[in-house]
Every structure is written in C-alpha cells, then in structure tokens.
Amino acid sequence: MDQTQHDRLLIIDFGSQVTQLIARRLRELNVYCEIHPYQNVTDAFLAEFAPKAVIFSGGPDSVTREGSPRPPQTVYDMGVPILGICYGQQVMMQDLGGRVEGGKISGGGGTAEFGRAYVTPSDERIDLLAGWFLEGREQVWMSHGDHVAALAPGFEVYGTSPNAPYAITADVSRNFFAVQFHPEVHHTPNGATVYENFIKLAGFKGDWTMAAYREEMIEKIRTQVGDAKVICALSGGVDSSVAAALIHEAIGENLTCVFVDHGLLRLNEAEEVVGMFRDHMNLRVIHAQEQDLFLGELEGVSDPETKRKIIGKLFIDVFQKYADQIDGAQFLAQGTLYPDVIESVSFSGGPSVTIKSHHNVGGLPEKMGLKLVEPLRELFKDEVRALGHELGLPASFIGRHPFPGPGLAIRCPGEITREKLEILRKADAVYIDQIRKHGLYDEIWQAFVAILPVRTVGVMGDGRTYDYACALRAVTSVDGMTADYYPFSHEFLGETATRIINEVQGINRCTYDITSKPPGTIEWE
C-alpha cells in the first residue's frame, strides 16, 4: 500500500513469532512501517519501497545453514540505518564479514540462551542506547541457539550478557545496529526505548497518526472508487462497522450496507446496529429480515458442521439477492485487517486463520464481478478501534466482544428452536450485564452463554422445575487462537447464576466452563 507522504520503515521478516510486535512498537511511535517476508524483498522492491530505515526480524533458521534466509546485499548499500534482531543480528554479521556459530556449545564465545537475561553496558555509549542502563543493567529477553562468534569489520560491542558477549553491537559510522535479544517483547521492559532511539537517529518525523490516516484513506477510497457504487456486508462487528463508517465519509450515498438478520443475533442487536448506522449516521442500510429462511433451513439440524454450512451458504445467497438490487455496484467493501494480510503472505506458510471465511462473503467478489475495497488492510485490531473513535463511533460499540458469523446457532448445541433462542438471548443479556456492572467487560476477550440440550430438575419456591441448563463462558485471549478461562470470583459466579435462574424463565441450572483453548475451542460448536 502506498503511503508515500510518510517516511517508511521496512521490516524484513525472517519468520520470528514476534515480528508483528516490532510493527506494533513502531506504530505506537507514529511511524509507518510494513512487514515483508524476506523472499519478497528484491532489489526492485527495495528501490520502489524506498525505506528510510530497515529492521531485520528474528527467525527460526540458522545462518550457518546453506541456503538460509538472507536479504539482498543491496540493502547494505542504500545508506539507511539497519537494526538486526536476534537472527537478524546473525544475518548482518555473516553478510558483512563476521562469523556465527551454531548450536548449544557452552563457554568461549557464548551459548544458546532462552528467556530472561541481563545486559550490562560497555564504557562507550551510543545514541541507540539513550535512556538505557540508568540503573546499571537492563533486563532483556533472549531466544537463540546460534550466536555471533566474531564481529564483522567496523562493528564494536556496546553491551554484553553472561551468555552473549555480543548482546549489543553496532557499526556507528554506517548506523548499523545488531542486538541478540528481542527489544519488542514485553519481557524487555525498556525495549521500546531502543526503537524510539533507532527511529530518531534515522530521522523519522513520527507523523503517522490516526487522524492523518483517516484523511488519507478517504482520499484514497475516492480515487479508487470514483462515482461507482459500493456494497458492504455489515455484521455489527467492529471491523465491518469501522470500514463502513470510513467509506461512508468518503463516498456518502454511493455506499449501501446490507445487514443480514438471520434470527441468530443477540438481544436487541439488530435494532442497535441498524438504528445506529441508519438513524444516527445516515448510512443506507438494508435490513435483510431473513429469520424465517435461516431458522426454517436449520430446523431439526443438530450437527455443528451442517449448521455452519447451511448458514454460510444462505448468507451468501441472501447477500447476493440484496446486492443485486443495487444498480451498478462495482465494489465490495471488506474489513480485512493487517494480521489477515500478513497471515496470507506468511513467511512460514503457517496455518492461516480460517475463522473469517465463515463469516465474510468469501468467493462473492469473483462470482459477482466485484472489485474489493479494503480500507483497514494496514491496521491492527486496536488501531481499527482507534480509527473507530476518530470516526465518532460510540466507545461501547467499538469495544464489543467478537461475535461469530453463525451467531447463536453455535451456542445452542443440538437442535435450534425459537424457544431456546429466546431463553439464550435473555440469559446472555443478564450475564453480560453482570460482567459490565462488575467492571470486567474490557478484561475479557469474549463472554457468552451457551444453552445446553439438556433439562434438569430443580426446586423453586415450593415447586419442582424441569428446565434447561446453561453454561457460562468467558475467556482471555490475544487473538482468539489460544485462550484461557477467566478466573471469576466465586461471589461473582454465585450472584450471576442466581440472577440468571431468577430472571430467565426456562433455565434452572448454571455451570461455568473452565476449559482453555486448546484443548477446547472458545465457542461450543
């Protein structure tokens, strides 16, 4: 993506697990950066990208191995500052005439090192380390098998740890810096300062703000779309909502959103979403009321995958039906985020996130001959939230927990009935109300109720009850790929169970799901 007005920093990815964190640290400093896998970084790419500085990420390979990942040699001749991290340090040393040794040998030049370590400074201080070593030593996070055994010509040592004599190295005359540890991770508490110093000495202005981004994206959308019409599947989730709000600012009435109501939404959800976008923000929103269609097709179905397939197919059919009514639509808007983009060009070709394929309108652009507008492609989730604030979306909306495309269908194991959905909606609303009242909502990645396909016996007042049992779920997570159950207090759980059983007719028993992911998943189906 072209952000030519800003200074650009290039992160060359050698496959580290934490490369994205480098980008995060830089964006926090208002620096525009992009991550590109090393294979894509050719001479032509470098010339076109014209970075003002370059960072080499860490990576799992060994530079001592024939054919291990390298940048093109020209990167060293561009006259721009370079910072190499871990594997990136070893790449620099090997490429520039030093020596790297492999394996877990101890003594001599250094050993493999994983985890916390402490770096102490050499006598001479450099700008990269301004604000470091104020209290003598700095905690850093190491994660390496190989180590540098001889420095490349021109490099000096500026910090050492017990197992890494070359923990911090630099050729100050060329502004080449190479560190053995990972300054981007949380366990290097003063690590952000290293990035701050690096971009300062590289001359970055730090002018990549959300307000600037908003203005530029609006211009860009106008240029891309012209007078053509755009359609957007509005799910009520943060990504599609922010994308719609931004595109609306750019092209106004030429954007039409389709909100598919499949009858599997939470209490008052359709009214809230349609009300906000249509009535408060003046967007054209088609409220596709297709509850009967979806619930009809789902009748009697209890297999989770069959449910998902039915919903996915109907969603596309319905969206297409409404989109066909919009004359001359040429573009489809999608809230694709930067992690999705990186994932798809991933260095390691690792397992890509299939989560969204259920829920976005995958395959539709080709089928309908539509081009894509993806204004969030450069942003991380919390940057999308910041942009949402910038665009005036309410905080309560922007901070909402994720909600799956198939909706309550996958929180209703077994057959789905209107009766069960009604009960589930009410129980979920009470649960979320409890979480909000206790000030826990923002600490939790996702919380919901699942209604179980089982009735249990209870006693209320003097009478016997025979009603549904439900499970409460709340997890913490960073990306939904792994998760841990949230450690509510017993008081909270007791109070919530009492409220649900008292306030929601049809439920007489509450359980709390304490499964992490893996081995469980977040949703029940």
Q: 89 or 360, CB closer to ligand XMP?
A: 360
523 in contact with ligand XMP (CB under 6 A): yes
Q: How far is the CB of 83 from ligand XMP (least distance, A)?
A: 34
99 in contact with ligand XMP (CB under 6 A): no
358 in contact with ligand XMP (CB under 6 A): yes
Q: Which residue has the tokens 């009478």?
A: 463
- Which of 196, 182, 223 is CA-nearest to residue 9? 196
Cα 234 from Cα 429, distance rounded (Å): 22
Tell me the CA end-to-end span of the chain in Å, nearest whole number: 37
Q: Which of 90, 404, 467, 472 binds ligand XMP (CB under 6 A)?
A: 404
The token pair that represents 293 in the structure block:
């269609």
108: phi > 0 → left, psi -120 to 50 → alpha, else beta; which?
Answer: left
The helix-helix angle for 381-390 and 210-225 (nearest 10°) equals 90
Q: How far is the CB of 292 from ligand XMP (least distance, A)?
A: 22
Spot the catalytic one: 6, 144, 147, 182: 182
Contact region with ligand XMP (CB under 6 A), list: 3-11, 291-299, 384-392, 399-407: 399-407
Q: 36 or 377, CB closer to ligand XMP?
A: 377
Amino acid at 11: I
Q: How far is the CB of 233 from ligand XMP (least distance, A)?
A: 11
Long-range pairs for 75-79 at CB < 8 Å and ≥24 separation? 75/12, 75/41, 75/46, 76/176, 78/46, 78/51, 78/54
Q: Which of 90, 336, 446, 508 binds ligand XMP (CB under 6 A)?
A: 446
Q: How far is the CB of 520 from ligand XMP (least distance, A)?
A: 8
Contact region with ligand XMP (CB under 6 A), list: 138-146, 198-206, 333-341, 514-522: 514-522
Contact region with ligand XMP (CB under 6 A), list: 36-44, 150-158, 162-170, 398-406: 398-406
400 in contact with ligand XMP (CB under 6 A): no
- Which of 146, 145, 140, 153 is CA-nearest to residue 185? 140
Specify whether the CB–CB gap between 257 and 287 falls below 8 A.
Answer: no
Q: How far is the CB of 408 from ligand XMP (least distance, A)?
A: 11
406 in contact with ligand XMP (CB under 6 A): yes
Longest dimension (CA), the chain: 87
Q: Which of 36, 200, 356, 438 binds ligand XMP (CB under 6 A)?
A: 356
Contact region with ligand XMP (CB under 6 A), list: 159-167, 168-176, 397-405, 450-458: 397-405
Cα 490 from Cα 412, distance rounded (Å): 25
Q: 161 or 446, CB closer to ligand XMP?
A: 446
355 in contact with ligand XMP (CB under 6 A): yes
Q: How far is the CB of 262 from ligand XMP (least distance, A)?
A: 12
522 in contact with ligand XMP (CB under 6 A): yes
Task: Report phi then psi at 330, rounded to 5.
Answer: -115, -15
Q: Which of 84, 121, 388, 405 binds ligand XMP (CB under 6 A)?
A: 405
Judge whether 184 counts as a catalytic residue.
Answer: yes
Q: 427 or 522, CB closer to ligand XMP?
A: 522
- The pairing of strands 229-233 and 284-289 is unpaired
Q: How far is the CB of 220 from ligand XMP (least distance, A)?
A: 27
Q: How far is the CB of 119 from ligand XMP (least distance, A)?
A: 38
Q: Which of 275, 365, 402, 458 binds ligand XMP (CB under 6 A)?
A: 402
- Which of 219, 90, 67, 229 is CA-nearest to residue 148? 90
Identify each DSSP E strand in 16-112 by its residue range.
32-37, 53-56, 82-85, 99-101
The token pair that represents 361 in the structure block:
């309108």
The helix-helix angle for 490-503 and 418-437 (nearest 10°) equals 140
Q: 38 or 403, CB closer to ligand XMP?
A: 403
Residue 367 neighbours by CB under 8 Å, 6+ apart: 320
Spot the catalytic one: 113, 138, 184, 378: 184
DSSP letter assigned to residue 188: S
Q: CB neighbours (10 Å) of residue 110? A: 23
Q: x/- string (CB under 6 A) for ligand XMP, residues 466-495?
A: --------------x---------------
Q: What sections of 325-417 are H helices per DSSP?
A: 338-344, 364-368, 381-390, 395-398
407 in contact with ligand XMP (CB under 6 A): no
Specify whether the CB–CB gap between 258 and 270 falls below 8 A.
Answer: no
413 in contact with ligand XMP (CB under 6 A): no
Q: Which of 25, 262, 359, 385 binds ligand XMP (CB under 6 A)?
A: 359
Contact region with ligand XMP (CB under 6 A), list: 344-352, 373-381, 400-408, 421-429: 400-408
Spot the catalytic one: 33, 86, 257, 510: 86
Catalytically active residues, by annotation: 86, 182, 184
Residues contributing to the site for ligand XMP (CB under 6 A): 355-356, 358-359, 402, 404-406, 446, 480, 517, 521-523
